[in-house]
């Protein structure tokens, strides 16, 4: 991850604007931004008037990298001209295509080569990981999750405990915020483990909560799980490509993530999976096996016995979908060029600028649910609109803003450092102020 802009900074990561929030200041922040040119590497959807939309929806679907089309066309051309021979003779040999992501995928989440594989979808990967790491016993059978977990995670957990013969009402332990709060404190997770740790088989929590935008202290949570002998896994759907991760150093057992949000690999993109090296070397671990997880040296001998490949690759079940992986190759090349440290630096300033502008609006119109501390969030801010939230969202859409609305009153906005600008943040804050009826002085 050695790009010329790696580690580049335009001021302190947590610094807000110097003074005065006028348009010229926002434009000046963009001129000083060392990552500004990367915006040209993405297709920007048009607003109703034809100008680029203010696209703050990277937490749901990232924008298309300009290089994605070429990456897909290359594979289509190889298919057309080589047919089956493209598995070994194509420009990017299909047989080993997934191996192209071993190093860059590891760098993305703070892993070592061999701990990451791109495969399947997030929830499929979660089921594969639960099949290995949720091994309930009579005394230790609980899965610890957060209150308000993303529904797909909740469904997967519930179905897994039922599969093992347990009732989710008994086997799923939910950690929730304190009364009157909407954020889950790390010390409260630790308190649950102190109380119930001997009965907890697995801790499964998000890296960043999809609704509130809260970033969890994964290193501290993993350490707490270890102290109580629990396996620990994380859903990084809103964390991968958004915040700096250190999965190997945190001694996480497994993690899963999707690639269509901050990783910009397209709708329903191939997901990612991390398995710690100490497990990847243990070839006797139980798993749901498939032929692509078999040792490639003997894969085509078509033998009856499954011999898993070492590392995360050994959890693969099917050969990789080449046309779906090609956009991810184009996107991760950009991440490798820039580096997560530089992206995070801009992200903290960009989201901090947005928060600064929103807090200047008159009190009583909105509430920011996401933590104020930059270390406790990614790029997303979740904004509760106190009156006429749906009408405000419709007005913003008409004005060319693409964000995300969650019933009954939350707008999730994510200024993404790869393609969003300070000027867009300034425009959004002004538009929101106008739609809230507070004037346009933000």
* pLDDT band for position 437 (cuts 50, 70, 90): confident
Q: What pLDDT, on a 0 to 100 scale, did the predictor assign at position 4?
A: 33
What's phi and psi for 51, nearest 5 deg? -75, 160
Q: Which residues contact 77 (CB under 8 A, 6 or more apart)?
A: none
Q: What pLDDT, on a 0 to 100 scale, did the predictor assign at position 303?
A: 87
Which of 372, 386, 382 is CA-nearest to residue 412?
382
Query: Taking residues 62-69, what's their average pLDDT?
Result: 98
Which of 121, 158, 185, 148 is CA-nearest to residue 317?
121
For residues 404 and 360, the answer to whether their CB atoms sit within 8 Å is no
Strands of the 254-257 sheet, one edge to the other = 116-118, 272-275, 254-257, 231-235, 200-206, 142-146, 172-175
Q: How far is CA 268 from the centre of its chain?
A: 13
* pLDDT above 50 (res 8): no
Token code pair at residue 228: 């109580």
For residues 121 and 184, the answer to whether their CB atoms sit within 8 Å is no
Q: What pLDDT, in 10s, does the model give residues 80-109?
A: 999 999 999 999 999 999 999 999 999 999
Q: What pLDDT, in 10s, does the model give residues 313-334?
A: 999 999 999 999 999 999 999 9
Map out the domains of the chain with their CATH numbers: 23-41+339-435 (3.90.1150.10), 72-336 (3.40.640.10)
* pLDDT band for position 20 (cuts 50, 70, 90): very low
* pLDDT above 60 (res 1): no
Beta-carbon count within 10 A of 207 CB:
22
| Mean pLDDT, the chain, whole residue set | 93
Query: Taking residues 141-153, what's their average pLDDT?
Result: 97
Token code pair at residue 264: 């910009």
Q: What pLDDT, on a 0 to 100 scale, did the predictor assign at position 10?
A: 35
* pLDDT above 70 (res 367): yes
What's the whole-model pTM score? 0.93
Query: Taking residues 169-186, what's their average pLDDT?
Result: 95
Q: What pLDDT, in 10s, does the model give residues 207-250?
A: 999 999 999 999 999 999 999 999 999 999 999 999 999 999 99
Q: Which letter does DSSP use for residue 215 in this model?
A: B
Q: What pLDDT, on a 0 to 100 scale, did the predictor assign at position 298?
A: 87
Q: What pLDDT, in 10s, does the model give residues 243-281?
A: 999 999 999 999 999 999 999 999 999 999 999 999 999
Strands 272-275 and 254-257: antiparallel
* pLDDT band for position 3 (cuts 50, 70, 90): very low
Q: Which residue has the tokens 């499954």?
A: 306
* pLDDT band for position 297 (cuts 50, 70, 90): confident
Q: What pLDDT, on a 0 to 100 scale, did the predictor assign at position 438?
A: 62
Rounded CA separation 354/356 (Å): 5
Rounded CA separation 106/113 (Å): 6
């Amino acid at each position: 991850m050695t790009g010329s802009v790696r580690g580049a900074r335009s001021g302190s990561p947590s610094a807000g604007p110097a003074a005065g929030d006028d348009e010229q200041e926002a434009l000046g922040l963009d001129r000083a931004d060392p990552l500004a040119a990367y915006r040209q590497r993405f297709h920007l959807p048009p607003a109703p008037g034809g100008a680029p939309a203010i696209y703050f929806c990277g937490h749901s679907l990232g924008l298309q990298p300009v290089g994605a089309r070429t990456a897909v066309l290359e594979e289509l051309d190889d298919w057309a001209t080589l047919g089956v021979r493209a598995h070994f003779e194509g420009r990017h040999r299909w047989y080993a295509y997934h191996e192209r992501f071993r190093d860059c995928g590891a760098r993305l989440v703070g892993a070592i080569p061999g701990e990451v594989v791109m495969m399947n979808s997030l929830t499929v990967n979660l089921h594969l990981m639960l099949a290995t790491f949720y091994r309930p016993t009579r005394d230790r059978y609980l899965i610890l999750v957060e209150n308000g977990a993303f529904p797909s995670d909740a469904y997967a957990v519930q179905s897994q405990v039922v599969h093992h013969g347990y009732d989710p009402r008994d086997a799923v332990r939910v950690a929730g915020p304190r009364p009157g709060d909407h954020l889950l404190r790390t010390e409260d997770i630790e308190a649950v483990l102190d109380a119930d740790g001997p009965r907890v088989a697995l801790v499964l929590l998000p890296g960043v909560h999809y609704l509130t935008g809260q970033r969890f202290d994964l290193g501290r949570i993993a350490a707490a799980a270890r102290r109580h002998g629990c396996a620990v896994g994380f859903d990084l759907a809103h964390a991968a490509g958004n915040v700096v991760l250190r999965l190997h150093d945190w001694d996480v057992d497994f993690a899963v993530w999707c690639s269509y949000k901050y990783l910009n690999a397209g709708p329903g993109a191939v997901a990612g999976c991390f398995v710690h090296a100490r497990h990847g070397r243990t070839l006797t671990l139980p798993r749901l096996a498939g032929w692509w997880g078999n040792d490639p040296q003997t894969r085509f001998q078509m033998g009856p016995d499954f011999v898993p490949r070492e590392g995360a690759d050994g959890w693969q079940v099917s050969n990789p979908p080449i046309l779906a992986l090609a956009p991810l190759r184009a996107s991760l090349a950009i991440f490798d060029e820039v580096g997560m440290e530089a992206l995070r630096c801009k992200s903290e300033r960009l989201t901090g600028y947005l928060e600064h502008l929103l807090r200047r609006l008159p009190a009583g119109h909105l509430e920011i649910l996401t933590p104020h501390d930059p270390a406790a969030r990614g790029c997303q801010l979740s904004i509760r609109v106190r009156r006429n939230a749906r009408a405000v969202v419709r007005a913003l859409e008409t004005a060319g803003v693409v964000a995300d609305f969650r019933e009954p009153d939350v707008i999730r906005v994510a200024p993404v450092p790869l393609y969003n600008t300070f000027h867009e943040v300034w425009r959004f804050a002004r538009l929101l102020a106008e739609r809230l009826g507070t004037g346009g002085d933000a």
